Amino acid sequence: MKKLYRWSNWKTWLVSLLIFLAFLGFILPDEAAESSRVTGTSESPDSSFFYTPETLYSIADTYGEEGRAYYVQARYTFDVVWPVAYFLLLTTTLGLLFKPVQRSKWGVIILLPLFGLIFDYLENLSTALVMSFYPERLDLFATIAPFFTAIKWSCIYASFALIPVGIIVFFCTRKKA
């Protein structure tokens, strides 16, 4: 935790913001378009908040062989880097805003983006395994993947929701010069 707070400064925040904006403006739209083209649908398990194992198998079926191969390849290329982009932005943002209270119980807030990143990777691994082996059923992975997805989104949404709180904390704890 201490390292994340030390690492959170205006320079790393600005770099992470530029990386995040580049993903939003250029990389994500291209990836979404290519995914829709190859899979034949815009439906994806990792964009839902929660889904059932049957929904995951249904998506795998809808994707077809080529779509499933593309999905798996994207999880091990694009979707390795994208979580790092939002992790960097959220961690440096929360780190800067909550740095004045880092030694209080509020200090753990900086771990939310890390948990989002970890559960995103667990989701990617689980869904990629289901897609790789389909039509064989990997029920364990199909069952835990939706929970990984829900936890990922909860951590990411909570991180973004805490930014306005952090702005208040930041300005209320600033020392007057």
User: pLDDT (tens digit, 9 = 90+) per residue, 14-60?
Assistant: 999 999 999 999 999 999 999 999 999 999 998 899 999 999 999 99
Q: pLDDT tens for residues 81-107? A: 999 999 999 999 999 999 999 999 989
Closest to 93 (Cα-Cα) out of 174, 24, 176, 156: 156
Question: Once rounded to an integer, what is the mean pLDDT over residues 117-123?
Answer: 98
Distance CA(146)–CA(159), nearest Å, equals: 20
Domains in the chain: boundaries:
2-173
Helix (H) or strand (E) holding 51: none
Answer whether residue 175 shows pLDDT above 80.
no
Q: Is 42 exposed, middle or buried (0-12, 13-18, 19+ CB in 10 A)?
A: exposed
Closest to 170 (Cα-Cα) out of 141, 129, 162: 162
Lowest-pLDDT range of 52-61, 101-110, 140-149, 154-163: 101-110
Per-residue pLDDT, 1: 85
